[in-house]
Structure 1
Amino acid sequence: MYSVNHVKGFTIIELLVSMLLGLVLMGGMISIFSANQQSYRVVNGLSRLQDNARLAFDLISHDLRMAGYMGCLSKVAFSNFINRLKPSDIDYLMDMGTLFSGYVYKSGTWSPTLNTQLQNLNPSSSADILVVRRTSDEGARVTQAMPNTSADIKVEASISLENEEIVLISDCTRATLFQITNIASMKSGTEYNIIHNTGGSIDPGNVKKELTDDGIPYGEDAAIYKMESTIYYLAESAFPNNQGNTVTSLWRQEGLNAAEELVRGVEQMTFLYGEDTNVDQVPNRYVTADLVGDMSRVVTLRIHLRLNTVDEVSSQGNTITRDFDFFIKVRNT
């Protein structure tokens, strides 16, 4: 009698089917992982883009809202403003008669024409340039009334001041812009003796040392404020994106200090100036800087920003862009 031996295991067909099913499942898992990774890149890129837009707006809006701030001196009293600085290449930074000014690139040229300092920033022509002028939030109180012919002022050492720094002194009814030619610490560092002689070791220097024209000196009701000017513009980033491509960023220069990169991925930046033509504090028209009739009548600004995700995050291998518009009310007009 013969016994039958049962064959155990998988046939070649069963193995092939199992391998095929495994490949299908693995392909599905890889596809899901790839899709999730792509979604993460997009969501993360858009999140950074929105954060960058908020940061850019916060930085620009803070300076614009403070444009023209000169301590307690009101716009009404601005006719009592004296500029003791010599004419120089940095006049555009110290023009306290204009709260802010803009430069627009049209028809292949900048309007108004950029001076040497602005040209050296290598600004992108895809964006406007904004210059904002103001004084520091806090001032140093004058501790002794000064003779009009004196070239020194005694003030509290409540803020940091340096030689050759440009400052403004004001007593709420008048103000004078001048350059410190020397400074000394007094009374164990609690007081400064500020010298403001004619000239100066660096530009621009002072036309004359007297701070007033009427012979009435500044007294203990006056304070000294640091002059602050800020330039916002777009230029090439110091760092490429994940594909090694050039990125455009928002840059800022404060005074004559080195410019600093603030926000990457800003492609466009334009400003429209809301001009009040009938003196009711309501803008009657929005125009570019070169078409503003009177900058002193600008009461609001509309800022348009176009930002991208910096890195290429889309499924097509491109950056994603978004447009943002903000309105800012100017306080000191």
Structure 2
Amino acid sequence: MSRSNFQTHGQEGFTLVELMISLVLGLLVIAAAGGIFLSNKRVYGSTEAINRIQENQRAAFELMSRDLREAGANPCTRFNATVGPVNLLADRSSPVWSRFQMGLTGTEGGTSDNVVVYNAGGRSRVTAHATPGADLTVSDTAGLVNGQTLMVCNADTAMIFSATKITSGGTIVGHDGAGNCGRGFTRQPDYARCADAVASNVGYCFNSIDQATCGASAERGRSPAMLIVPAAIQWSIANNGRGGTSLFRTVNGTASEIAEGVTSLQLSYKIGNSTAFVDASAVGAAQWATVTAVRVGMNFVAAQGAQSTTDIRGTNNAALTRTAVDVIALRNHLDIQ
């Protein structure tokens, strides 16, 4: 009987040198991949920061341009430096509505100028107003509230007043509250005798059938009348509560943040047919009504937000910035040739 002989071979492995070479090569591959990842991450972060700047830039200029183009807009009559709406409000402390006919006014603020734009918002048709003291009957009161400042106008005149008697889904707008001078409409209010202004002045009817109905001593408008919401829209830069500054749009006292990372707002104005743009300090009180264009310059800086600090910085380790300038023509201040 033969006996099989088995030959056992020893197991072979990596030598220490081979292992060290493998580790070094692996580390090189990992380092290269990590470097590519970090580089791509930084490029992505910078691109995202630039995209956010561009988005803020588009939003800021689009909305601001829309307001500036419509400065002085209303559906009734054209105002100028000397002809504007009659202010029937009893509170004369606020200068806002006394400047409404100018269309816009601006002030200097170093790197943060601001501008207030005046125009008309929502509107409703006046269907009846028989006598100066009668309530206005309008097509719709949606969105209106008591105490709100409104303006009623036609092709002949415009009057600003405080609203009363407004109910949800109604059609009546009153004007005989304590917020107004007098209990009726008049183009010559007696502010010294605010409580009985209408009693000592000629009243005005916006939509009366005939002169006899309106009153022999009253004036009667002959063109269609509209009820509108006058707006004072301020554009300015303010702290956003996150350690930076933003561009804000404030409508009748209510502020909204439009674009973050805006660090400066520079405004200059073109008066009439002049070819030069001047700062607000060089525009006379009566010249605001003749401003035909506004040059707007804004500086945008990358805001950190959810991004890391390195994502918003450029090659010089400073925050990414962009400066944009645009010229906006005021449609309602341009004469039709």
- TM-score by shorter chain over 0.5: yes
| Contact 2:152 2:225 (C-alpha < 8 Å) held by counterparts | yes
Of residues 112, 128, 132, the one that matches 1:127 is 112
Q: Supply the AA of the counterpart residue of 2:268.
A: L
Question: Which residue matches 1:208?
Answer: 182
Query: How do 1:167-206 residues align onto structure 2 when only pairs under 5 Å count?
Result: 167-184=150-167, 189=169, 191-197=170-176, 200=178, 205-206=179-180
SS of alignment partner, residue 266 of structure 2 = strand
Question: Which residue matches 2:249?
Answer: 252
Shift of 1:218: 0.8
Runs of 4+ in 1 over 6 A off after TM superposition: none
Q: Supply the AA of the counterpart residue of 2:320.
A: I
Question: Which range moves more in the overlay, 68-77 or 173-182?
Answer: 68-77
Question: Which residue matches 1:110?
Answer: none
Q: Unmatched 5+ residue regions in structure 2?
A: 1-6, 188-201, 209-223
Q: Supply the AA of the counterpart residue of 1:238.
A: G
Identity %: 26
Shift of 1:196: 1.0
Q: 2:24 aligned with 1:20, yes or no?
A: yes
SS of alignment partner, residue 208 of structure 1 = coil
Q: 2:207 aligned with 1:219, yes or no?
A: yes
Whole-angstrom distance in 2 between the partners of 1:14 and 1:156: 91
Of residues 145, 150, 173, the one that matches 2:129 is 145
Question: Which range moves more in the overlay, 306-315 or 90-99?
Answer: 90-99
1:102/1:7 CA distance change after superposition, 3 Å:
same
Question: Which residue matches 2:143?
Answer: 160
Q: Supply the AA of the counterpart residue of 1:285.
A: A
Question: Which range moves more in the overlay, 246-255 or 310-319?
Answer: 310-319
Q: 2:270 aligned with 1:274, yes or no?
A: yes
| Contact 2:81 2:102 (C-alpha < 8 Å) held by counterparts | no
CA RMSD of aligned residues (A): 2.4
Is the radius of gyration larger for structure 1 or structure 2? 2
| Contact 1:143 1:155 (C-alpha < 8 Å) held by counterparts | yes
Question: Which residue matches 1:328?
Answer: 328
| Contact 2:114 2:234 (C-alpha < 8 Å) held by counterparts | yes
Question: Which residue matches 1:263?
Answer: 259
Q: What is the aligned length? A: 288
Whole-angstrom distance in 1 between the partners of 2:291 and 2:182: 33
Q: Unmatched 5+ residue regions in structure 1?
A: 107-125, 240-245, 277-281
Whole-angstrom distance in 1 between the partners of 2:240 and 2:119: 27
Of residues 228, 232, 237, the one that matches 2:235 is 232
TM-score (norm 1): 0.79
SS of alignment partner, residue 181 of structure 2 = coil
Q: 2:39 aligned with 1:35, yes or no?
A: yes
Shift of 1:153: 1.4
SS of alignment partner, residue 160 of structure 2 = strand
List per-residue Cα deviations over 1:122-161 (Å, max 9, x = no partner): xxxx31111111111x42111123212x142111115422
List per-residue Cα deviations over 1:246-285 (Å, max 9, x = no partner): 111111221133x222211111111111112xxxxx4421
| Contact 1:73 1:171 (C-alpha < 8 Å) held by counterparts | yes
Question: Which residue matches 1:62?
Answer: 66
1:80/1:44 CA distance change after superposition, 3 Å:
closer
Question: Which range moves more in the overlay, 313-322 or 70-79?
Answer: 70-79
Whole-angstrom distance in 2 between the partners of 1:289 and 1:295: 9
